[in-house]
């Protein structure tokens, strides 16, 4: 079975992120991830790069978009103040010699502490059996928790999420209670 998901790690409190989403998503879930961070799981999982750019422009902190496609491809976008710091694609297309992007120094501008630069370089360039494994290695190298960042909107809707997170999501847009 292949896996696809997308999410955005925003460098701002969940309440601020929730407000900033207005008009930018039809439906999403927001998960507080220790202040000042929150994860956004938009219904448009392929649009996470655009959403990360908008959130980094509107909020005081940076944003990191992650999209895993069919367990084969990991796409990352690091943004600060609405500007793209790095665009990474583990498999940009046929005939390519490997990943594009992946400037490890760009990820030090995300406001994260304890970034393991050699570990991040290995995660972005090394061989992995799946895009999910590569994504987990990137998250560990960035000093981020893996479990809340390895799924997306569809998994939340299906209840296919870590049980300890089940009651922590804030619904936004059409999935919010009326």
Contact indicator for 12, 38 with CB cutoff of 8 Å: yes
Give residue-wise pLDDT tens across range 96-136: 778 999 999 999 999 998 899 999 999 999 999 999 999 99
By the 8 A CB rule, do 41 and 7 touch?
A: yes
CA gap 28, 129 in Å, rounded: 29
In this predicted structure, the answer to whether residue 90 has a pLDDT above a threshold of 70 is yes
- pLDDT score recorded for residue 52: 98
| CA 110-116-102 angle, 5° bins | 60
**Which percentage of the chain shows pLDDT scores above 90?**
90
- Is the confidence at residue 69, as pLDDT, over 80? yes
* pTM assigned to the model: 0.96
Q: What percent of the chain has pLDDT over 70?
A: 98
pLDDT over 90 (residue 1): no
- CA 168, CA 87: separation in Å to the nearest integer? 30
Mean pLDDT of the chain: 95
Residue 94's pLDDT band, with cuts at 50, 70 and 90, is low
């Amino acid at each position: 079975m292949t896996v696809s998901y997308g999410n955005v790690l925003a460098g701002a409190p969940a309440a601020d992120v929730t407000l900033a989403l207005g008009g930018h998503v039809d439906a999403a879930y927001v998960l507080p991830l220790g202040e000042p961070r929150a994860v956004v799981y938009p219904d448009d999982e392929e649009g996470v790069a655009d959403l990360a750019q908008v959130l980094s422009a509107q909020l005081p902190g940076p944003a990191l978009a992650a999209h895993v496609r069919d367990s084969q491809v990991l796409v990352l976008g690091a943004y600060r103040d609405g500007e793209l710091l790095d665009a990474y694609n583990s498999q940009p297309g046929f005939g390519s010699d490997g990943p594009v992007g992946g400037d490890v120094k760009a990820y030090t501008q995300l406001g994260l502490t304890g970034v393991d630069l050699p570990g991040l370089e290995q995660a972005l360039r090394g061989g992995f059996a799946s895009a999910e494994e590569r994504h987990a290695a990137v998250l560990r190298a960035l000093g981020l928790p893996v479990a809340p960042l390895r799924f997306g909107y569809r998994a939340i809707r299906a209840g296919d999420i870590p049980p300890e997170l089940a009651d922590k999501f804030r619904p936004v847009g059409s999935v919010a209670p009326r």
